[in-house]
Structure 1
Amino acid sequence: MKKMFMMSVPEDLEEVIDILRSKQWLLSAFDVSDDLLYNPANFIFFRKTEGIDYRLILDRNIFDYIVSSYRKPSEESHRAAIALVVFCQISDIHIDASMALHENLKIPGSSLNESLEELDFFYRVDDSPYIETLIQYAIGAKSSYEINSEMQKSKKLDEISDWYDKYEKLKGWDSLYLIMLKIVDIYLSKHKTKVKLRLLLEWMYKEFRFSIVASYYALILFSSKRPKRMMKYKETASLDIRKKQISNMTWDLFVCDYYIKQLKENQQDVEILFATADKALKELVSFFVKSSICENPWNYFREYFSTPNDFQLVETLEKSNHFTGPREFEGKYFKNPYQRYILIDELEIKLGLKRTATNSC
C-alpha cells in the first residue's frame, strides 16, 4: 500500500519557490531533478516515512543576504535569501550556518563576539514564527518582515563558539591556504597547461603532502572545464585585494573539502544539502560530489572532460599514485615541524603578498 500524507502550505508558497528556483542556489548530493529538489512535500514525505533529517550547509554570501535583508533596503538577492528561509521552514530543513561564521572570522578585523551576534540575529530570522511576513517580503509584497524577538540566546551559539575554538587548533586551513598559494604560483608560471598539474602534484609529494581535494581542484582549474571566475586572483590588484582573493579561493577549496567530509562521515538518516550564490563554487562542489560517490572516479573524469589536453591531465593525476622518492612528509609528521610555515612564507614573498620573511617559524 502506498503511503499517503496531507500537508497544508501557505497560499503564496509556489511564488516563493519560483523565486528560489530561479536562483539555482541549492545543491543535493543526489542526482535529483529541480521538481524534487525545490518541492517541500518531497522532504516532508521522506522525513515522515523514512525518518530522514535534512541539513543545509549555508555559504557566506547567502548568510550575508539574510542578515542584511532586515537592515538594508530590499534587493532581489535579499528577497531570494528570505525565500530560502521560508522554503527550509516549510520543508523542515535545518540551516547550518557554522561555515558562514567561520569564513567571516577569517576576514581581517572580524571578532568572535561580533560574528556570534550576527549569528544570533540570523537565528532570529531563521526561527521567526511570523512566516507569513517572511513570505510577503520574499515575493515583494512588503518591504520588511518580523523576526523572533522573544527568542533567548540560543545554545547553538555556545556550541559553535566551542566548535570554533577547537577548529582553530587544527591545521586544515593553513594546509589548504599553502596549497592554494602553490596553485596560484604555478598557474601564473609560463609552463604549458598540461605540465602545471604535474608540477603541483610533484610539489605536494616532495615538499608537502597530498590532498585529494586540492588535486581535483587543480585538475578542474587547468582544464577546459574551468568555471568562470574560478581563478579569482589578479596580479594587477592591490596587495589587500590580492590577499582577499587568495583567501576567497582558499575558502572555495575549504568548502569543497568540508562538504565532502561531511557527506562521508554523515549518518544514514541525515541528508546534507548545500546552498551558495557563487556559481563557480557550486559547480566545483557538484564535481567533487559526483566524483566522490561514483565507484570509479577515473571513469567519471573521462566522461566529464572532453579535450585531449584534459585527458592528459587526468592521466597525469592517475600516475601520481605511483610517485616514488624522498619526501618531507613521512608517516604522520614532517621532517621539519615548521615545514608548513616555511613554505607559506616563501610563497607569500614570491607572490608579493609579503615583503620580507617573518620569524614566525
Structure 2
Amino acid sequence: MEFVVYQFPSYAGQVINRLIEEDWLIHSLPLNDKEEIYNPSAYLYNLEMEGIEYTIHLDLNIYQYILSAFKKPKKNDLHRSAIALVVFAKFTNIKFDPSIAIYEKLNYKNQCPDDLVDDLVLFRQIDNSDMDLLAQFALGYKDTIELPAPTHLDRSLFKSQLTKYRRLKKWDTLYVLVLKITELYFCDKGLSDESKLEHFWCWCHEEFLFSLVATCFAIKLFGKQSNSKLMKYSPKLSAEKNKKHLVNMTWDLFLLDKFFENWVNKPEQEEFVYATNDKPLRAVLEIAIEVQSGGYEVDLSKDLRKPLIESFFNMFELVMTEQGRHITSVTDFKSFRDGIINDYETLLRV
C-alpha cells in the first residue's frame, strides 16, 4: 500500500473545524463520510495521482460574505468562515468560480454596473492574498485583510460578456416551473399536498417540461418533511416584492440545475463542489443527488408515502415516452413559454 504524507499549516485543523461546523459544501462525490469533503489530503492526492482538479462554485451569499469580510467595518462569524473557505481552497489547490453569484447579482440588467466589476476585482484580490494573513483573520486574530495589488481585468470585455445574452440557458424555463409550483401552493386550496405533487408531475409531463431539481423542490415543499422556507412568495406582500422573491426562487433552482449540468457534462479530470449556506435549498439538492445516483433504488420514504413513491417512479417512466405529451405539438417554444409566464404572473399578481 502506498502512503503519501502532506504537510499543512499549523492552523489547518482550526480552519477545517470551522468549515465542518458551517457545513456549506455540497457535492456528488462518492464519499463514505460527510466530513471527508473537508479532508485536504484527498484533494492534493487526487490532483497529484489522478490529475483531478476541483472547483468550488459559490452561491451569492457566500460570495457576499467573502467581499464583506473586507468591506464591512464590523466583522462577524460568517465573514470569518467565508475567509476560512478561501484559506482551505489555498492549501488544497481548489479553484473558485463565482460566475453564478455574479450573474444573479447582475440579474440580467442591460448595463453591467461598475460596482459589480469592482466586486470581482476585490474577490480576486482576496483570493490572491497571503494565506497566513487570511488565516489570522478567519480565526479571529485580526480584523483586517491585507490585499495585494489588483490583477488586470479588461472591464469592457467583462461587461460585454455578462450582458451578451438576455437569459442564461434554462432560466426562463425554471421560472415557469417556479410559477407553477407557487400557483399550486397558494391557489389550489382544494387539493391535498400529495395531490398537488401528482398534479405538478403530470403538468410537467403533459403541458411543459420535466426538471429533476424542480421536482425535488416540489417534494421538499409538498412532501412529508415540508419546508415552508422554500416558498418565498406570499400573497400578503406587494407585487414588487413577490416578483423579486419569485426571481430569487428561480435563481435557487438555476444554481441546482447548474450543478447537475456540470456533473453530467464535466470532463473526467474535473470535479465540482458548491458552497451555500441555504439549508432548505441544500435539502433539495441532496434528494436530487440521491435520485440521480440511485435511480429506482433510491429510498424516498422519509419524504413520500408509498403510493406517492410509486406515482413518482411511474412519472419517470412516462418521461421516457411521448405518451400524453401535448407540448410536442408546440412549434414556437419561446412564445409558448412566454405565454405561460404571462398567465401565471397575472394569476399571482406580479
Identify the residue that residue 12 of structure 1 maps to in structure 2: 11
Output the CA distance in 2 between the equivalents of 1:118 and 1:146: 16
Q: Distance in 2 between matches of 1:236 and 1:145?
A: 42
1:194 aligned partner: 194
1:261 positional shift: 0.6
Q: Does 1:80 align with 2:81?
A: yes
Aligned match of 2:50: 50
Once the two structures are superposed, the pairs formed by residues 1-361 of structure 1 within 5 Å of their partners are 1-7=1-7, 9-32=8-31, 33-72=33-72, 73-106=74-107, 111-128=112-129, 130-148=130-148, 150-154=149-153, 161=159, 164-165=162-163, 167-168=165-166, 170-188=168-186, 189-190=188-189, 191-227=191-227, 229-294=229-294, 297-302=295-300, 305=303, 307-308=305-306, 310-311=308-309, 314=312, 317-318=315-316, 320-321=318-319, 324-325=323-324, 327-330=326-329, 334-335=331-332, 337-353=334-350
- CA separation of 1:264 and 1:15: change in aligned 2, threshold 3 A: same
The Cα shift of 1:310 comes to 4.5
Question: Aligned partners of 2:68 and 2:168: how far apart in 1?
Answer: 31
Cα distance in 1 for residues equivalent to 2:79 and 2:59: 14
- Measure, in 2, the Cα distance between the counterparts of 1:306 and 1:209: 22
**Could you list the runs of 5+ residues in structure 2 that have no partner in the other structure?**
none
Task: Name whichever of 228-237 and 268-277 sits farther off.
Answer: 228-237
With over 3 angstroms needed to count, the CA separation of the structure-2 counterparts of 1:151 and 1:170, relative to structure 1, is closer
Per-residue deviation at 1:105? 1.2
Shift of 1:6: 3.3
Query: Closer, same or farther in 2 for the Cα pair 1:35/1:210, shift >3 Å?
Result: closer
| 1:133-175 residue CA offsets vs partner (Å, 9 max, x unmatched) | 2111111111111122x232247x7886565345535551111
In structure 2, relative to structure 1, the CA distance for the partners of 1:30 and 1:167 (3 Å cut) is farther
Give the structure-1-normalised TM-score: 0.86
SS where residue 101 of structure 2 aligns?
A: helix
Shift in Å, 1:307: 3.0
Quote the Cα distance in structure 2 between the aligned partners of 1:197 and 1:133. 51
User: Kindly, what percent of the aligned residue pairs are identical?
Assistant: 28
CA distance in 2, matches of 1:117, 1:100: 14
| Contact 2:202 2:315 (C-alpha < 8 Å) held by counterparts | no
Q: 1:164-204 CA distances to partner (integer Å, 9 max, x unpaired)?
A: 34553555111111111111001112112222123223333
**Unmatched runs of 5 consecutive residues or more in structure 1:** 354-361
Distance 2:185 2:131 in 1: 48
Q: Give secondary structure in 1 for the equivalent of 2:95.
A: strand
Distance 2:270 2:83 in 1: 24
Alpha carbons 1:58, 1:99 under 8 Å: kept? yes
